[in-house]
Amino acid sequence: MLRYFKVPEELSYCTFDRWGMNERSRVDKTSAEDKSIGFDYQYYYFLNELLSLKSGQTASYEVLDDVHIERADGKTLLVQLKHTVQKNAQGDPINLAKLDPDLWKSISNWCKVIVDPADGRSSVADQLVFLKNTSFLLVSNKSGNTRNSVLSSIDEFWNGTKSHVGFISDIRALKTKTKDETIKGYIDDLLNLDPGVSEAFLRNLSFGLGLTLPPEMPSH
């Protein structure tokens, strides 16, 4: 079974403005290249999952999420992928921070999916039914670390050393530590969930961090 993929050679970008006169700026080129790497990361993850499917499973790309896996038992795994080109002093991808937009935007997106009235989930009962059959995975080449209080608090909730009320208290306190209104809005999407729905969501949430290209991907 194929588990590794060769990263394509770096693409050369030489695009011109609408008058056909000026080359793109270095900033624009770098941004385009960074986005291309992010797309590669997402697509290779999908290919790896596709080649790793078990009997009765299907994988889809950019349908319900960046990637999603439908299992033989009718349950669905929604996967969001976040890639960074930023490096730390050791030359490794940076850590996932406690107020990281990649973390909170993914959580926000999933919270909105859970309560989406367009899919018939206005009521708490319908949201809980959805969560019985849906799990969520955030995959990134960013690494996890013990200094990320959000990941630590989630881990403590998972292993039973912290109650759901205690977790929510941690997140409320975290919200006061940022002035970024966008991040605050993402956090509110989690805080606004019904407590029972929030607890079910957290129990179905997992992370695949530090996954680089060529990827050694987690099994699903």
Domain ranges (residues) in the chain:
26-209
pLDDT tens for each residue of 99-137: 999 999 999 999 999 999 999 999 999 999 999 999 999
CA distances from 50 to 82, 92, 121 (A): 19, 28, 29
| Two structure tokens written together for 54 | 């078990």
Kindly give, in sequence order, each residue whose CB lies less than 8 Å from that of residue 56, ignoring residues fewer than 6 positions away: 71, 72
Q: Are 136 and 204 in contact (CB under 8 A)?
A: yes
User: In degrees, to the nearest 5, what angle opens at C-alpha 76 toward C-alphas 201 and 110?
Assistant: 40
pTM: 0.81
Residues of the chain with pLDDT under 70: 1-35, 213-220
φ, ψ of residue 166 in degrees (nearest 5) = -65, -40
- pLDDT on residue 213: 64
The residues facing 59 across adjacent strands are: 69
Q: Indicate the average pLDDT of the chain.
A: 85
Cis status of the peptide bond prior to 214, with omega within 30 of 0: yes
